[in-house]
């Protein structure tokens, strides 16, 4: 038995003998539960069995006892591998049976109640003790598989794969499966495939009347057309910003970087509201065009063009964050070699630089495509009569005609589109190599962009940056207006209502109505962001550096939560985690988990795009020198994936701060998030307070982004500095 196996056994016994077996309300960290420990629901499993008579908790402990005896007796690797596998499988299976068989009402299934007689025993959801024991069994299973030769016997790799599969299975596949099964059930809960077929092929979904008449096309085609426009547009805009930021001497590139990422730190409906304030029928720009040039006022902003504009503003930063790391990762020595062979600037860019950016371009398009499909905030504000799947799902879930089955059918269609985009991306990339970072001592200096391409990037990016700046000036000014659109006098009343601070007998008192949700949002986001980055980059490492059975399915599973609209994610979490065995509704934990697996795909795609440029020989050299996989990841891979790390941290933090659809069903009185508070103010007609709160969030998140970039730093591939190179050229 190795020290690692003994460590996992110790964790299992800690879960069984020390930690509370059942979930503690409202939080494990709340001091109130310590006063009750270890009595009642706060007791560990062994006390639950002896004092509370919960005999059904004893069988899951038997595999742990068996593993401990094996540790005491000692086993050779030939016998130890299969033994650990069976112990891990048996332990996880017994935990699952115990958890699903009994809930807070008694036996979970009617046939089980009939078999056992009576309503049966009762229990709440599992807690930290059960979590520790389940993790122990999972890692023992992975240790056994490693000893049987899986992934060349690398226990770290097998354990990482097992952990990610378990997390994705529990927090992505299980909730989605719970809600999607309703697609094949009627209102009585019975399986009805005919109802599914009727809903799936409904004319309102697949109709093509727009091609032959003035009628609208089906909602599926509307969504697909919009997603293609947004995916392609956000990728091109993000690439222009990335090239300017890394390959030009543009004086204001720092300001342009800020302008490119500002939309990502804003609640989506605020961007839509700013667009209406500028381009609506009574908007500022519309009024100027009418007064100066006689352009008649219209409602042109509502529909496809308005939603596309808002989504391009919102999702271009995602493409930029992915592509800037890819552009930075192109070794300049390859471009220098092309110029040495007398290739012109455009030829070098077209034949060397652009092909090496294909992984980043493909990932940026995929993220923009999927984000557009899953977004419902912007279409809710600007779509008008242009229906998309996300809003249809939203109204099917929360509308007057509540139809969970129809929402599930529409979600399946979204999944189909995402799967098709995922497959098209793999076909376009093929099996070519995009390695540029090889471990050589000097990567050279980046080659400047060809003049024509540089000016094209300027012409695309600068107007977009100015539009973004105008949007945010509008948002900030609107937060100081007494009443938007009616009374434009300046006031601080909105900020005072939300963020006033009083001095009382006990010191400072945060009396503003927004403080509670603000601190909760900051806390939840700060916890979720690093966990999201860690899991996302670990998953990217497994996908880019390891080969194992089911890798394609594993990769698609990591994208699944990104493809499903946030509304469906929120409802599915309510259905899956409102009852035992995992009872999380109303806690802060469910918000953290939702953010982790909702935002993880961005870290995965950014990590894959970056790792595809780093030669595997660097990993192999570390292994040859005797380093373990974990050491190689920590000392070789992590320093080279800093751009992806920044992308994952920034995106996960700001999306946790600004998410709307995924958490609108998950917030509670104790854990109320900022966006839920803002939506409530909008519904109450308090637009000034809503925009003021959004403005505060923008500045807070901007400071957080700068702090993250300062703490993580930048990746440097070459040792030469531009000034030193110019001095050498002048001396030569």
Q: Please, which pLDDT band fits residue 130 given cuts at 50, 70 and 90?
A: very high
Chain position carrying tokens 């299975």: 169
Beta carbons within 8 Å of 498's beta carbon, 6+ residues apart: 512, 513, 514, 515, 689, 692, 693, 696
Would you call the peptide bond into 133 cis, given omega within 30 degrees of 0 as the criterion?
Answer: no
Per-residue pLDDT reduced to its tens digit, 471-509:
888 888 888 988 776 677 889 999 999 999 888 777 777
Question: What mean pLDDT do residues 706-727 have?
Answer: 58
Is it the case that residue 162 has pLDDT exceeding 90? Answer: yes
Q: Which among 324, 436, 294, 303 is positioned nearest to 378, based on CA atoms?
A: 303
Instruction: Summarize the confidence of residues 40-51 as an average pLDDT.
Output: 86
pLDDT for residue 659: 82
Query: Token digits for 318?
Result: 């995602």
At residue 727 the predicted structure's pLDDT band, cuts being 50, 70 and 90, is very low
pLDDT tier for residue 515 given thresholds of 50, 70 and 90: very high
Please report, rounded to a whole number, the percentage of residues in the chain having pLDDT higher than 70.
Answer: 89
Question: What CA–CA distances, in Å, run from 545 to 7, 68, 358?
Answer: 27, 34, 18
Locus of tokens 């730190």: 265
Residues 6+ apart with CB under 8 A from 71: 1, 5, 6, 9
What pLDDT score does 12 carry? 95
Which has more confidence, 1 or 498?
498
99 vs 322 pLDDT, higher one: 99
Least confident of 188-197, 247-256, 505-514, 712-721: 712-721
Residue written as tokens 């100015």?
466
Alpha-helix runs per DSSP H in 383-514? 389-398, 404-429, 451-479, 493-499
In the predicted structure, residue 705 carries a pLDDT above the cut 60: yes
User: Is there a contact between 583 and 124 (Cβ–Cβ < 8 Å)?
Assistant: yes
Q: Summarize the confidence of residues 116-125 as an average pLDDT.
A: 84
Closest-CA residue to 564 (of 597, 586, 515): 597
Q: 710 vs 139, which has greater pLDDT? A: 139
Residue 174 reports pLDDT greater than 60: yes
What pLDDT was estimated at residue 437? 53
**3-state class (DSSP) for residue 307:** helix
Q: What is the DSSP letter of 483?
A: E
DSSP-based three-state secondary structure for 344? coil
377: Cβ–Cβ under 8 A, 6 or more apart, which residues?
267, 268, 269, 272, 660, 661
Query: Of 352, 340, 334, 344, which is closest to residue 443 (Cα–Cα)?
Result: 334
Determine phi and psi for 421, rounding to 5 degrees.
Answer: -65, -40
Tally the C-alpha atoms within 13 A of residue 642's C-alpha that lie toward its C-beta.
15
Average pLDDT, the chain: 82
pLDDT at 387 over 70: yes
Q: Any residues with CB less than 8 A from the CB of 437 and at least 6 apart, and which?
A: 329, 331, 443, 613, 614, 615, 618, 640, 717
- pLDDT average, residue stretch 645-651: 79
Are 696 and 499 in contact by the 8 Å Cβ rule? The answer is: yes
In Å, the largest CA–CA distance within the chain is 94
Q: Which two tokens stand for residue 171?
A: 């927090």
Least confident window among 116-120, 265-269, 631-635, 676-680? 265-269
Q: Rounded distance, CA 268 to CA 383, Å?
A: 13
Q: Does pLDDT of 239 surpass 60?
A: yes
Q: What's the chain's length in residues? A: 732
Tell me: pLDDT of 448 over 80: no
Question: What average pLDDT does range 117-121 have in this prediction?
Answer: 81
Q: What is the pLDDT of residue 731?
A: 44
The DSSP letter of residue 181 is G
Do the beta carbons of residue 141 and residue 165 sit within 8 Å?
no
**Per-residue burial over 316-335, b = 16 or more CB atoms within 10 Å of its CB, e = otherwise:** bbbbbbbbbbbbbbbbbbbb
The mean pLDDT value for 629-634 works out to 78
Q: What is residue 221's predicted lDDT score, i.e. its pLDDT?
A: 93
Query: H or E stretch including 106?
Result: strand 106-107
Q: Which of 720, 732, 645 is nearest to 332 (CA)?
A: 720
Residue 585 token pair: 């509704």
* Predicted local distance difference test score (pLDDT) of residue 72: 76
Q: Which of 707, 702, 708, 726 is nearest to 249 (CA)?
A: 726
What is the C-alpha separation between 519 and 671, in angstroms, rounded? 10
Gap between the Cα atoms of 142 and 82, Å rounded: 11
Q: What is the predicted pLDDT for the residue at 730? A: 43
Question: Which pLDDT band holds residue 719 (cuts at 50, 70, 90)?
Answer: very low
For residue 612, report the phi and psi dihedrals to the nearest 5 degrees: -65, -15
534 has pLDDT over 60? yes
Instruction: Give me the pLDDT at residue 8, please.
Output: 93
Comparing CA positions, the residue from 197, 181, 178, 378 lying closest to residue 271 is 378
- Identify the band that residue 709 occupies on the pLDDT scale cut at 50, 70 and 90: confident
For residue 90, what pLDDT band results from cuts at 50, 70 and 90? very high
Rounded (10°) angle between helices 304-328 and 268-279: 120
Residue with tokens 């403080």: 515
Give 86 or 52, the one with higher predicted confidence. Answer: 86
Residue 82 or residue 345, greater confidence: 82
User: Tokens 């603000």 — which residue?
Assistant: 518
pLDDT tier at 24, thresholds 50, 70, 90: confident
pLDDT digits (tens, 9 = 90+) for 55-74: 999 999 999 999 988 877 76
Indicate yes or no: pTM above 0.85.
no
Q: How many helices (H) and strands (E) does the chain have?
A: 36, 6
Residue 643, pLDDT score? 73
Three-class DSSP category at 691: helix
Cα–Cα distance, 250 to 530 (Å, whole number): 33
For the cut 70, the answer to whether the pLDDT of residue 263 exceeds it is yes
User: Which value, in Å, is the radius of gyration of the alpha carbons in the chain?
Assistant: 28
Region 393-407: mean pLDDT is: 74
State the pLDDT confidence band at 188, using cuts at 50, 70 and 90.
low
Is 517 a residue whose pLDDT tops 80?
yes
Categorize the per-residue pLDDT at 593 as very low, low, confident or very high, splitting at 50, 70 and 90. very high
Residue 379 has pLDDT above 80, yes or no: yes
Mean pLDDT (whole number) for 99-120 = 84
What integer pLDDT is reported at residue 729 of this predicted model? 40
User: Which tokens in the block code for residue 380?
Assistant: 């809710």
Q: Which residues contact 292 (CB under 8 A, 6 or more apart)?
A: none
What's the pLDDT at 410?
86
The torsion angle over the Cα atoms of residues 469, 475, 476 and 482, rounded to 10 degrees, is 150
Q: Which two tokens stand for residue 99?
A: 């958890």
Cis peptide before 38, with omega less than 30 degrees from 0? yes
- According to DSSP, residue 191 is labeled B
Provide mean pLDDT across the span 372-397: 83
CA torsion sign for 473, 474, 478, 481 is: positive
Burial class of residue 402 (count of CB atoms within 10 Å of its CB; 0-12, 13-18, 19+): exposed
């Amino acid at each position: 038995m190795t020290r690692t196996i003994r460590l996992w056994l110790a964790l299992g016994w800690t879960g069984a003998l020390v930690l509370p077996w059942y979930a503690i309300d409202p939080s494990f960290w709340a001091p109130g539960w310590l006063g009750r420990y270890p009595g009642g629901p706060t007791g560990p499993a062994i006390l639950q069995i002896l004092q509370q008579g919960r005999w059904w908790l004893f069988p899951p402990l038997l595999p742990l006892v068996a593993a401990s005896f094996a540790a005491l007796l000692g086993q050779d690797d030939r016998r130890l591998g299969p033994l650990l596998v069976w112990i891990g499988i048996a332990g996880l299976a017994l935990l699952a049976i115990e958890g699903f068989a009994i809930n807070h009402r008694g036996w979970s299934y009617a046939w089980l109640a009939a078999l056992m007689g009576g309503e049966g025993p009762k229990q709440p959801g599992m807690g930290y003790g059960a979590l520790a024991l389940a993790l122990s069994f999972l890692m023992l299973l992975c240790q056994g598989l490693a000893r049987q030769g899986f992934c060349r016997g690398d226990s770290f790799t097998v354990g990482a794969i097992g952990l990610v599969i378990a997390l994705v299975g529990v927090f992505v596949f299980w909730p989605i499966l719970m809600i999607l099964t309703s697609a094949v059930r009627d209102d009585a809960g019975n399986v009805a495939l005919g109802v599914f077929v009727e809903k799936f092929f409904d004319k309102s979904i697949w109709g093509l009347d727009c091609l032959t008449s003035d009628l609208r096309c089906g909602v599926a085609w509307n969504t697909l057309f919009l997603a293609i426009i947004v995916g392609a547009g956000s990728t091109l805009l993000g690439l222009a910003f990335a090239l300017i930021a890394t390959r030009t001497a543009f004086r204001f590139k720092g300001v342009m970087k800020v302008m490119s990422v500002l939309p990502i730190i804003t609640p989506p409906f605020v961007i839509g509201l700013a667009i209406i304030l500028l381009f609506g029928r009574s908007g500022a720009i519309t009024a100027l065009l009418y007064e100066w040039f006689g352009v008649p006022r219209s409602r042109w902003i509502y529909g496809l063009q308005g939603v596309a504009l808002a989504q391009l503003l919102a999702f271009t930063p995602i493409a930029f964050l992915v592509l800037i790391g890819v552009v930075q990762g192109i070794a300049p020595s390859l471009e220098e070699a092309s110029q040495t062979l007398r290739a012109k600037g455009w030829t070098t860019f077209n034949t060397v630089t652009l092909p090496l950016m294909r992984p980043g371009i493909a990932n940026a398009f995929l993220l923009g495509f999927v984000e557009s499909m899953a977004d419902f905030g912007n279409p809710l504000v600007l779509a008008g009569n242009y229906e998309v799947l996300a809003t249809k799902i939203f109204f099917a879930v929360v509308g007057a005609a509540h139809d969970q089955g129809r929402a599930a059918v529409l979600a399946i269609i979204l999944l189909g589109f995402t799967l098709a985009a995922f497959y098209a991306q793999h076909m376009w990339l093929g099996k070519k190599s995009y390695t540029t970072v090889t471990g050589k001592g000097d990567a050279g200096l980046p080659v400047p962009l060809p003049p024509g391409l540089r000016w094209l990037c300027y012409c695309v990016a600068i107007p977009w940056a100015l539009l973004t700046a105008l949007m945010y000036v509008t948002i900030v000014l609107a937060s100081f207006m007494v009443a938007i659109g009616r009374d434009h006098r300046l006031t601080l009343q909105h900020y005072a209502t939300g963020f006033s601070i009083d001095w009382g007998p006990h010191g400072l008192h945060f009396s503003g109505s927004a403080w509670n949700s603000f601190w909760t949002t900051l806390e939840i986001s700060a916890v979720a962001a690093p966990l999201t980055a860690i899991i996302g980059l670990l998953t990217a490492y497994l996908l880019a550096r390891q080969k194992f059975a089911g890798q394609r399915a594993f990769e698609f599973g990591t994208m699944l939560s990104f493809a499903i609209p946030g509304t469906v994610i929120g409802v599915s979490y309510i259905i899956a985690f409102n009852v035992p065995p995992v009872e999380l509704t109303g806690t802060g934990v469910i918000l953290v988990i939702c953010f982790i697996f909702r935002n993880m795909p961005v870290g995965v795609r950014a990590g894959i795009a970056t790792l595809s440029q780093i030669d595997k020989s660097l990993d192999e050299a570390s292994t040859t020198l005797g380093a373990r996989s974990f050491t190689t990841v920590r000392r070789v891979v992590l320093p080279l994936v800093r751009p992806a790390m920044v992308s994952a941290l920034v995106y996960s933090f700001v999306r946790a701060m600004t998410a709307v659809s995924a958490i609108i069903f998950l917030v509670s009185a104790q854990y109320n998030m900022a966006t839920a508070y803002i939506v409530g103010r909008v519904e109450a007609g308090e637009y000034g307070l809503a925009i003021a709160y959004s403005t505060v969030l923008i500045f807070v998140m901007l400071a957080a982004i700068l702090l993250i970039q300062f703490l993580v730093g930048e990746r440097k591939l070459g040792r030469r500095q531009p000034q030193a190179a110019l001095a050498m050229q002048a001396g030569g």
